[in-house]
Amino acid sequence: MKKDIVAKGAILQRDRETYAIAPHIPGGITTTEELRKICDVADKYGIKELKLTSAQRIALFGIREEDLDDIWSELDQQPGAAIGLCVRSVRICPGTTWCKRGVQDSVSLGLKIDAIYHAMQLPNKMKMGVSGCMVSCAETAVKDIGVMGTPKGWRIMVGGNAGARPRLGDLLVDNVPGEEEVLAIIARIIELYRNWPQEQRLGRIIEEIGIERFRHEVLGTGE
Ligand code: SF4
């Protein structure tokens, strides 16, 4: 019986025969050239349906297994980490790059986070989001690690998730002054998580030990 092919970023579809792939498009920010290439490859291989995903990618459906290698080679892009125990996605809102409400540069920070963490193997799946203001279009509160711009800097929330048992993230720290400080805190969270003895989602760990102890483990304060 066919299965997902994780190494090729190929997800078996409902027909149990064909696959979907979704190239990695950091922050969903792309160019006409990249889009044309995706469309050209889709036309060449008879891919009739494409879908914009919640992870800010473009999924291509109905792919034959024997075409996967050629399609990836022609796309010349990396697979988005849509499956497996890893950092699945870093959702990024337009922030101060384009949005009139933005108060922080979510695109700059988000792309740095994406470059470091996208597809990193972890004990369980992890989603991240970076919003440029408190309207929170990157759904910061339901990300395992969510970052939100405020007039005073960055707010970091941890342990959020959607899914069958949704959970709102806990406030880890507020008024983080700059990108470097945010990246250092995220690095510490990831280091803790990678070494955690159980393989559960970040929010379950926080439920178990409490946000105060988690904050203490990450920041050395709050307990
Ligand atoms: S979160 Fe704020 S900055 Fe980002 S797109 Fe929404 S309104 Fe604009």
C-alpha to C-alpha distance for 54 and 87, rounded to whole angstroms = 15
Atom index in ligand 1 nearest the CA of residue 103 equals 3
pLDDT of 48 reads 84
Q: Are 208 and 110 in the same domain?
A: yes
The answer for residues whose C-beta is within 8 angstroms of residue 172's C-beta and 6 or more apart is 156, 157, 158, 185, 189, 211, 214, 215, 218, 219
Asked if the structure places residue 35 within a domain, the reply is: yes
pLDDT of 222 reads 53
Query: Which tokens is 10 given?
Result: 């190929």
State the average pLDDT over residues 184-206.
Answer: 96
CATH code for the domain of 107: 3.30.413.10
Q: Are 10 and 106 in the same domain?
A: no
Asked if the structure places residue 45 within a domain, the reply is: yes
Average pLDDT, the chain: 96
The alpha carbon of 106 and the centre of ligand 1 are apart by a number of angstroms equal to 9
Binding pocket residue ranges, ligand 1, CB within 6 Å: 93-95, 99, 101-102, 106, 131-133, 135-137
Domain that holds residue 69: 6-75
Q: What is the pLDDT of residues 99-157, one digit of tens each?
A: 999 999 999 999 999 999 999 999 999 999 999 999 999 999 999 999 999 999 999 99
Question: Residue whose CA is closest, atom 6 of ligand 1?
Answer: 137
10 Å Cβ neighbour count for 66? 7
The answer for residues whose C-beta is within 8 angstroms of residue 196's C-beta and 6 or more apart is 123, 205
The alpha carbon of 58 and the centre of ligand 1 are apart by a number of angstroms equal to 21
Atom index in ligand 1 nearest the CA of residue 104 equals 3
Q: What is the pLDDT of residues 40-82, one digit of tens each?
A: 999 999 998 999 999 999 999 999 999 999 999 999 999 999 8
Which one of 42, 75, 108 terminates a domain?
75
pLDDT over 90 (residue 217): yes
pLDDT of 76 reads 93
pLDDT over 60 (residue 176): yes
Q: Are 137 and 207 in the same domain?
A: yes
State the average pLDDT over residues 16-21.
Answer: 96
Task: Please choose, from the candidates 145, 3, 26, the residue with its C-alpha nearest in 3D space to the C-alpha of residue 80.
Answer: 26
Atom index in ligand 1 nearest the CA of residue 94 equals 5
Asked if the structure places residue 95 within a domain, the reply is: yes
Judged by DSSP in three states, 188 sits in helix
Which one of 75, 104, 123 terminates a domain?
75
Q: Are 91 and 154 in the same domain?
A: yes
Counting the structural domains of the chain, the total is 2
Q: Rounded to two decimals, what is the model's pTM?
A: 0.95
pLDDT over 60 (residue 1): yes
β-strand partners of 167? 161
Helices (H) then strands (E): counts for the chain: 7, 9
Block residue for tokens 């963490």: 117
The alpha carbon of 45 and the centre of ligand 1 are apart by a number of angstroms equal to 37
Asked if the structure places residue 82 within a domain, the reply is: no
